Amino acid sequence: MVSRWMYISLVILYSFLLGPFIIIFMASFGANANLAFPPQGFTLDWFANVFETSQFIDSFWVSLQLALLSTIVSLVMGMPVAYALTRFQFAGSGLVETIFSAPILVPGLVIGFAMLNFFVLLGDMQVMTGLFIGHTAILFPYSVRVISASLRNLDPYVEDAAVSLGANRLRGFLLVVLPNMQAGIAAAFVLGFITSFNNVPVSLFLSGPGVTTLPVSMLSYLEYYFDPTIAALSTLLVIFTVVLVQTAERVLGLSQFV
């Protein structure tokens, strides 16, 4: 059923998907300060430049904190919602599901814009707080959905079993439900972290003086310089991402779930 020309289509697909990464990779080691192709010579200066550019370092920490904080909060708050949706039948569960999947349906740029206007209306608000709220809101769909899926795979009666054996509800949840959800939680965590860490549209409007996320500062760097520093930074980020995902896979066995 699979014929030769279909394999050719596979080659085309992958060169289109991954080609740009190879180009970035090459450019990040090229000695020329412009975007001429092919890159000339070899240098690590662009990588050095990444670490010397304070806006990248500062915004990296902002993005890291933001991603950790909003992912964890969206998980901690989203988990009970997922639990309610998968363990109870109730009037309004449709509404709850819609509300929690809505942030994925509304364009990110619009969310950022609407939130900025709303926060201005509310009055004094720290930039980081605004970013945190924005990111947490857009992560709910991921955390609720992924955790729900993992809860659906777990027999709801195991909690009753734990309780009938003498555990209280909370202990039953901690000892029986949580350990069985770890792959799901890890998947939701990695997914949420990456989504937040890479977000541009929401952060764009909500960034402010001294507090900018890494992708937004990359974007504004491009408004000032077209040099391979961005390529070097992108190469580092790809490595960071691969390491993150691989570690999650090794430690937590991500692929059982995803």
Partner 1 sequence: MPYLEIHDLTVSYEKNKPTLERFSLHVEQGELLSLLGPSGCGKTTTLRSVAGFIKPDAGQILINDRDYTRLPPNQRDIGLVFQSYALFPHLTVFHNVAFGLRMRRIPKDEVYSRVANALKMVGLEAFADRRPAQLSGGQQQRVALARATVIEPQVLLLDEPLSNLDAGLRVEMRQEIRRLQQQLGITTLYVTHDQVEAMSISDRVVVMNQGEIEQIGRPESIFAAPETVFVADFMGFDNHFTAVVESVRDSKLTVNWGGNPIELRWHSKFGSPQSGARAEIFFRADNASLLAGREASGLAGQVILHTFHGNELQYLVETEVGELSIKQDSASERFAPGEAVTVQAQTQKWIAILEDREQNA
Partner 2 sequence: MMIRRPNQNRTIILLVAPAFLFVLVFFVLPLIFLLSQSVLPEEGGFTLQGYLDFFQSRVSRIVYLRTLRLGLIVTGICLVMSYPAAFVLARMPARRRSFLMSLVILPLMTNAVARTFAWLIILGRRGMINQTLLSLDLVENPVRFIFTETAIVLGLAQLFLPLMVLPLVSAMENIPDDVLEAALSLGANRLTTFLRIVVPLSSDGLVLGATLVFTGSVTAFVTPAILGGSRLLLMSTLLRQKAVILFDQHAAAVVAVVMILTTLAVNLLLRVLRAQQS
Partner 3 sequence: MRSHRFITLLLALLVLGLLAPMAVAQDTQTLTVSIWGFNLDVLEENVFAPFEEMHNVDIVLDTGNNSDRLARLQAEGANTDIDVAHFATQFTHIASQEGLLQPYNPDGLENLDEVYDWAQDPLGNQAGVGYTVNSLSLIYRSDLIEAEITSWADLLRDDVAGFVSIPEMSTTFGPAALIMIDRALAMREMDKSEEAAGINYDADLAWEALPQLADNLVTTYIRSSELTTLVQEEEVWVAPYASFAIGNLINTGHDLSTVVPAEGVVGQTNMISITAATDQVDLAHAYIDWFISYDVQLAEALDLIDSPVNATVELPEDICALLTCGDMLDTMIVLDQAQVSDRLEDWLERWNEVMVR
Which residues within the stretch 90-109 sit at the binding site for partner 2 (CB under 8 A)?
Answer: 90, 96, 99-100, 102-103, 105-109
Helices (H) and strands (E) in the chain, counts: 13, 0
Residue ranges in contact with partner 3 by CB under 8 A: 34-35, 61-62, 64-65, 68-69, 72, 116-117, 120, 123-125, 127-128, 178-179, 182, 185-186, 189, 208-210, 220, 223-226, 251-252
Residues 135-164 close enough to bind partner 1 by CB under 8 A: 154-155, 157-158, 160-164
Contact 144, 75 (CB under 8 A): no
**Of these partners, partner 3, partner 1, partner 2, none, which one is at the site of residue 225 (CB under 5 to 8 Å by kind)?**
partner 3
In 3D, which of 231, 252, 247 has the Cα closest to residue 37? 231
> Of the two residues 193 and 257, which places its CB atom closer to partner 1 in the complex?
257
Minimum distance between the CB of residue 224 and partner 3, rounded to whole angstroms?
4
Using the structure block, give the residue that is written with the tokens 């491009």.
Answer: 222
Which among 238, 242, 230, 240 has a CA at the least distance from the CA of 30?
A: 230
Establish if 23 lies at the interface with partner 2 (CB under 8 A).
yes
255 binds partner 1 (CB under 8 A): no
Cα angle, residue 197 at apex, residues 232 and 143 outer, rounded to 5°: 150
| Binding to partner 2, residues 229-248 (CB under 8 A) | 230-231, 233-234, 237-238, 241-242, 245
Q: Can you tell me which residue has the tokens 């092919």?
A: 38
Binder of residue 176, out of partner 3, partner 2, partner 1, none (CB less than 5 to 8 A by kind): partner 1
165 is a site residue for partner 2 (CB under 8 A): no
- Contact (Cβ atoms closer than 8 angstroms) between residue 60 and residue 236: no
Distances in Å between the Cα of 233 and the Cα atoms of 19, 41, 90, 207, 243 are 17, 19, 48, 20, 15
**Which of residues 71 and 199 has its CB atom nearest to partner 2 in the complex?**
199
